[in-house]
A and B are shown apart, each in its own frame.
Chain A
Amino acid sequence: MSRTRTPVVADWFTGEGEDFRLLGTRCSACASVFFPREDTFCRNPGCAGGELLSAPLSRRGRVWSYTDSRYRPPAPYVSDPELPWQPYTLIAVELEAERLVVLGQAVPGVSVADLEVGMEVEVVPGVLDEDADTTWTTWHWRPTGVAA
């Protein structure tokens, strides 16, 4: 049985391969950018409020900081308690154009030993977890020096 590929959160990212992008929103009045997307009201206190339009974010950014998770996180994080815990790496990435920092998991196989603050990374499509019917997709950060 093939699983349906479904984003773990709707409308936070879009596209495939080289066209994959995180998807925020931009206020049509003040041009402020929001991620995760803000769809109700512009949060700039100096803005009277405009239409919030979908806005793809920059593909590449610089590592602001990073860490990992040596212990299994609690639910609602999904992991198989029957399997030994495999730590994953978290990277906070500063996007230059948007001037914001976005947290995300690193691509599998990238450990804290592979990272440095200031290093360039790019956003790529990834898989968060799978259940019987669904492959839950997400975004991952990958150092631009890594081919795989």
Chain B
Amino acid sequence: MTDDVAVLGAGMHPWGKWGRGFVEYGTVAARAALADAGVDWRDVDSVVGADTVRGGYPGYVAGATFAKALGWQGARVASVYAACASGAQAVNAARTQILAGLADVVLVVGADAAPKGFFRPAGGDRHDDPDWLRFRVLGATNPAYFGLYARRRMAVHGDTLEDFAQVKVKNAAAGALNPNARYRKTVTAEEVAASAVVADPLRLLDICATSDGAAALVLCGMDFARKHGVRNPVRIRAVSTVTPTYPNTVLDLPDIATDSAAVVEPEGVTFRASIARAAYEEAGIAPEDLSLAEVYDLSTALELQWYEDLGLCGEGEAAKLLREGATAPGGRIPVNASGGLASFGEAVPAQAIAQVCELTWQLRGTAGARQVADARVGITANQGLFGHGSSVIAVR
């Protein structure tokens, strides 16, 4: 496949609760990515911003907001909103411009200053908005859905609370080694079990927090990378942005009900699995080829679900894979070597970009204490609300 796009630079603003604005975080991450790439901002052809909807009006026009903060220089601009998939769609918009010959070098930025506590819908009485309705009619927060998925796994696959806790233990240990992570302390299974229940059966330490944070990438064509003196860059080989296939039969955020399968028989693959499948097909890569995976551990139980959806193991075998240590550092397929959202928390437009930053550092072999040995191929996976798929495959 010749349609690779090079990752020339990656950068982050450390994640946490810093009490400042998303523009500041994004600009810090952008400058870090530009410095990492060795590219002058004035030489960037295009900037793509992943939107936040909680930063006030400028948040909806993130691309230009970051361009202004970096200093207007006339670049092409785009802004993307796809909830948690915003970052991956921003990467895809940048990649598409490069492959179409519209730009040589593109800066991708995502940043957020997240509110404390539960995410909530935008204000106003919006009776035609399913996201508003699930709160008004059911009080169904995001963790409520994570609780439903967790309980379902326990009933169908025999997962245990101890399995869920071990995901947190694993990710916290990885996050303790990551200077960009918000939480840098190891956690024990006893501490998970002692934390308060949020949405049965999940506890506070099973569920990721909301955070401030930012991540940025400098992407370019392979020709530009070579001319720039980078002969063997990390390459993005696939970006999956697929939608579900009707009927979507797994209850998903923020829906109140699934599609009906009474008339149209569902295809064999769930939406989450189809996201990964599209990425594998585009990249010409199989799960067995992976060195590592960065997945959306919005809850500990959801990380286990991704093992199966990514094809790291068969259906119902995720807890077994975890117990074997296959997904831990040093294992066959380390998952969330960065520490995951368990260690970072959610900064929605930055998350999917941050995952690609981690792949970049891992594939370069510059991930420091959390380095996955001989990393050659990595995948990211997440999804946005309302059927936004998101997965990126990077290789070296």
SS of A interface (majority) = loop
B residues within 8 A CB of A88? 139
Across the interface, do A36 and B256 meet the contact criterion of CB distance under 8 Å? yes
Q: Which residue, B117, B120, B137, has most C-beta atoms of chain A within 10 A?
A: B137
B111 in contact (CB, < 8 A): no
A residues within 8 A CB of B149? 65
B323 in contact (CB, < 8 A): no
Which B residue sits closest to A66, measured CB to CB? B151
B261 in contact (CB, < 8 A): yes
Across the interface, do A102 and B256 meet the contact criterion of CB distance under 8 Å? yes
B residues within 8 A CB of A76? 121, 125, 132, 135-136
Assembly CA distance A51 to B134 (angstroms): 27
B198 in contact (CB, < 8 A): yes
Asked whether A74 and B117 contact (CB < 8 A) given A32-B262, A105-B138, the answer is: yes
Interface range, B side: 35 or more
Across the interface, do A98 and B199 meet the contact criterion of CB distance under 8 Å? no
A49 in contact (CB, < 8 A): no
Assembly CA distance A102 to B201 (angstroms): 20
Asked whether A67 and B155 contact (CB < 8 A) given A46-B264, A92-B251, A101-B258, the answer is: no
Q: How many interface residues does A have (CB within 8 Å)?
A: 46
Assembly CA distance A99 to B196 (angstroms): 35
B197 in contact (CB, < 8 A): yes
Among B54-62, B140-148, B174-182, B348-356, the stretch that binds chain A is B140-148
Task: State the Cβ distance, A23 to closest chain B Cβ, in Å.
Answer: 12
Asked whether A98 and B260 contact (CB < 8 A) given A92-B251, A103-B251, the answer is: yes
Across the interface, do B246 and A73 meet the contact criterion of CB distance under 8 Å? no
Across the interface, do B135 and A67 meet the contact criterion of CB distance under 8 Å? no
Across the interface, do B260 and A32 meet the contact criterion of CB distance under 8 Å? yes
B residues within 8 A CB of A33? 260, 262-263
Across the interface, do A99 and B260 meet the contact criterion of CB distance under 8 Å? yes
Task: State the Cβ distance, B355 to closest chain A Cβ, in Å.
Answer: 27
Q: Which of A114-135 contact B (CB under 8 A)?
A: 116-118, 128
A-facing mask of B147-175, CB < 8 A → 1, else 0?
A: 11111100110000000000000000000
Q: Which of B176-230 contact A (CB under 8 A)?
A: 196-202
Assembly CA distance A69 to B197 (angstroms): 9
A-B contact pairs, 11 of them (CB 8 A): A8-B137, A33-B260, A33-B263, A67-B200, A67-B202, A70-B196, A70-B199, A75-B135, A102-B256, A103-B138, A128-B137
Shortest 4 CB-CB distances between A and B: which pairs?
A: A67-B147, A117-B155, A73-B139, A99-B261
